[in-house]
Chain A
Amino acid sequence: MADLTTNLGGKLTLKNPVMTASGTFGYGFEYHKFFDISQLGAVVVKGIAPFPSHGNPTPRVAETACGMLNAIGLQGPGVEKFLHGEEYMPFLRRTGATVIVNIWGKSIADYQDVARRLEADKAGIAALEINISCPNVKAGGIAFGTDPVLAKEVVSAVREATSLPLITKLSPNVSNIGEFARAVVDAGSDMISLINTLTGMAIDAETMRFKIANKTGGLSGPAVKPVALRMVYEASHAVDVPVIGMGGICTGEDAVEFLLAGASAVAVGTAIFADPYAPLKVIEGINGYLDRHGFGTVAEIVGKVHN
């Protein structure tokens, strides 16, 4: 049995390198019925804003070849309810799970507010993950994560608000991922995670309508894995901080590919919808791989893909 303990740059230590991807595991509560969620490397909760939010009109999802599009629109309870509502943070604290809170906002001030509130009540919170793939309402709706200057500003603002370890989750909808990785690390991000979903579209030919009400949605699942692997590889060469890789991971072997490409840890998302136990199977799969190949720790294979 290999040692799966994963040290992320001295800022965050996980039992194993497998997390859940934000938005695909709710707030942990829903899946605790299936297994003890404290077995996971970390539970990354659905995005939290300073305010409650309805999310988008329906339909919100459409299945596509080997993947799906979603435009859930960040429906959520808001930070106050998240901190105090029984099925959110109080529940998570009782489980003993390692909790990473994914945060978002519509302005830089929103991001700073939510980070400040979480900082003030941070018992049980291991780190924050900044979702910068949201539209900036003040800047005409352009996503923070597609403009390196905005991305840097958001991260600096959150950095001022908290001493918690910061992970910045990068948008793949850019042409030079390395530039964004460097920008957010310069601004004080301790780690980066990627990829968020790829913007896509689906149309029903028979009804001549968009399949999701928002017209565009984010593509995820096995269909995006080759793109995700390439971006993780590029980002991990651009910066020295730990990289958390995700995008289409379903099996231990998928996860190992991300580790070889340069990720220090991974997250499982869409695969959970098909199989709630997928994250546990990925942990087992990584362990099996390390044993089979005679590696004692996860770190031994990080970035070790041959040139």
Chain B
Amino acid sequence: MRQGTIINNVRLKDDYYKVDFFAPEICASARPGSFVHVRISGCGDHILRRPFSICNVNESGELTVIYKVVGAGTEALSRLKSGDECDLLGPLGKPFSRPLDDEVPVLLGGGYGSAAMFMLTKESKTPGVALLGARNSKDILLSAEYRAAGFDVRISTDDGSDGLKGRVTDLLPGVLKDYAGRKLHFYACGPMPMLLALAGLLPDLGYPESELSLDHLMCCGVGACFACVVKIKADNADGFRYARTCSEGPVFRADQVYLEK
């Protein structure tokens, strides 16, 4: 366990906040897709940690998390100020693979998922594509930052308040057309229904090795309690096993995900 002193904690827009922790040891080994498990100070009778994807790290030991206030834990976090401390465990979880030099990374993000994948912009030699989808424009995050990193940013919203009116998967045909002949590698993080849809879709499009970050309600965060499991295909009578998203994931190959019939 390492203390993370808060350097900055600011509202980005609406319910989204950005917090920078001073956590040099965690920064040293953070990778895209890995997460920190945070014991939020001042959280009253809430005893469990809250997991957050690492959005960014820098050489000064600053670790950035982007979070949405959805309940008591994130609400308490939003009230913390510069100089306050939280216990951080991390970096935890099996991260995304490093993009290969000849691949165009295509990121599909919903909500805070675009934060969870942001560090891929630093590991990728080739500028990639960022497909950001959400219910409405309020939940579209980091589009300017992805553009600044040279990524081709395309947006979809359910209500058409930004970009294409529709689902993030509706952006796929355009990408496949515009990048025909290039080697694509897909990465995704977002709400479970979106990820399950992609687990059905991407292997059929010829991309079984696509990587999906499946987060799930967590408890210990380190593989000890079996709270956070998802169904992964397995060579047994039932065809699946429950894998721990905190330690065996959160990143799984699309063709490993077991889809209910």
Contact A24 B47 (CB under 8 A): no
CA distance in complex: A275, B47 (Å)? 10
Chain B residues numbered 209-230 whose CB sits less than 8 Å from any CB in chain A: 216-217, 219-227, 229-230
Contact A275 B220 (CB under 8 A): no
Contact B238 A24 (CB under 8 A): no
A58 surroundings in chain B (CB, below 8 A): 216-217, 229-230, 242
Contact A70 B227 (CB under 8 A): yes
Number of A-B contacts (CB under 8 A): 85
B220 surroundings in chain A (CB, below 8 A): 24, 26, 30, 272-273
CA distance in complex: A133, B48 (Å)? 24
CA distance in complex: A60, B223 (Å)? 14
The answer, yes or no, to whether A61 is at the interface (CB within 8 Å) is yes
Contact A274 B48 (CB under 8 A): yes
A30 surroundings in chain B (CB, below 8 A): 220, 222-224, 247
A154 surroundings in chain B (CB, below 8 A): none
Contact B47 A60 (CB under 8 A): no
Contact A63 B46 (CB under 8 A): yes
Contact B247 A274 (CB under 8 A): no
Contact B222 A54 (CB under 8 A): no
Chain A residues numbered 159-209 whose CB sits less than 8 Å from any CB in chain B: none
State how many angstroms separate the Cβ of B4 from the closest Cβ of chain A.
14
The answer, yes or no, to whether B87 is at the interface (CB within 8 Å) is yes
A70 surroundings in chain B (CB, below 8 A): 219, 225, 227
CA distance in complex: A65, B221 (Å)? 20
Contact B242 A54 (CB under 8 A): yes
A222 surroundings in chain B (CB, below 8 A): 47
CA distance in complex: A24, B230 (Å)? 19
The answer, yes or no, to whether A55 is at the interface (CB within 8 Å) is yes
Which residue of the partner chain A has the closest CB to B247?
A: A30
State how many angstroms separate the Cβ of B215 from the closest Cβ of chain A.
12
The answer, yes or no, to whether B1 is at the interface (CB within 8 Å) is yes
Contact A274 B226 (CB under 8 A): no
Chain B residues numbered 52-111 whose CB sits less than 8 Å from any CB in chain A: 87, 89
Which residue of the partner chain A has the closest CB to B241?
A: A54
Partner of A24, one of B217, B225, B229: B225
A33 surroundings in chain B (CB, below 8 A): 222
Contact A25 B224 (CB under 8 A): yes
B135 surroundings in chain A (CB, below 8 A): none
State how many angstroms separate the Cβ of A244 from the closest Cβ of chain B.
20
- A67-B1 CB under 8 A given contacts A55-B229, A275-B87: no
Contact B89 A276 (CB under 8 A): yes
Interface of A is mostly: loop
Contact B227 A275 (CB under 8 A): no
Which residue of the partner chain A has the closest CB to B245?
A: A58
- A221-B47 CB under 8 A given contacts A68-B219, A72-B226, A273-B219: yes
Most buried by B among A54, A61, A271, A273: A273
Q: When each residue 13-35 of chain A gets 1 if its CB lies under 8 Å from chain B and 0 otherwise, what string results?
A: 00000000001111001110110
- A275-B1 CB under 8 A given contacts A54-B241, A63-B47, A222-B47: yes
Question: Looking at chain B, what size class is its interface with the partner chain?
Answer: 20 to 34
Partner of A273, one of B47, B217, B229, B241: B47
B216 surroundings in chain A (CB, below 8 A): 58
Partner of A54, one of B89, B219, B238: B238
CA distance in complex: A222, B47 (Å)? 9
State how many angstroms separate the Cβ of B69 from the closest Cβ of chain A.
16
- A67-B242 CB under 8 A given contacts A30-B224, A273-B220: no
The answer, yes or no, to whether B31 is at the interface (CB within 8 Å) is no
Contact B226 A55 (CB under 8 A): yes
Contact B227 A276 (CB under 8 A): no
A65 surroundings in chain B (CB, below 8 A): 45
Which residue of the partner chain B has the closest CB to A269?
A: B225
Contact A26 B47 (CB under 8 A): no
Contact A26 B224 (CB under 8 A): yes
The answer, yes or no, to whether A296 is at the interface (CB within 8 Å) is no
The answer, yes or no, to whether A66 is at the interface (CB within 8 Å) is yes
Can you list 27 A-B pairs, Cβ within 8 angstroms, ordered by A?
A24-B224, A26-B220, A26-B222, A30-B222, A34-B1, A46-B224, A54-B242, A58-B230, A59-B217, A63-B47, A65-B45, A70-B225, A70-B227, A72-B226, A72-B227, A75-B226, A75-B229, A75-B242, A221-B47, A222-B47, A270-B47, A272-B220, A273-B47, A273-B48, A273-B49, A274-B49, A275-B1
Residue numbers of B with Cβ under 8 A of A are 1, 39, 45-49, 87, 89, 216-217, 219-227, 229-230, 238, 241-242, 247
For the complex of A and B, 6 pairs with smallest distance between CB atoms: A26-B224, A30-B224, A61-B227, A66-B45, A30-B223, A75-B226
Known: A30-B224, A46-B226, A58-B242. 14 other contacts (CB 8 A): A24-B220, A24-B225, A25-B224, A29-B223, A54-B238, A58-B216, A58-B229, A59-B217, A61-B217, A63-B46, A63-B47, A66-B47, A274-B48, A275-B39
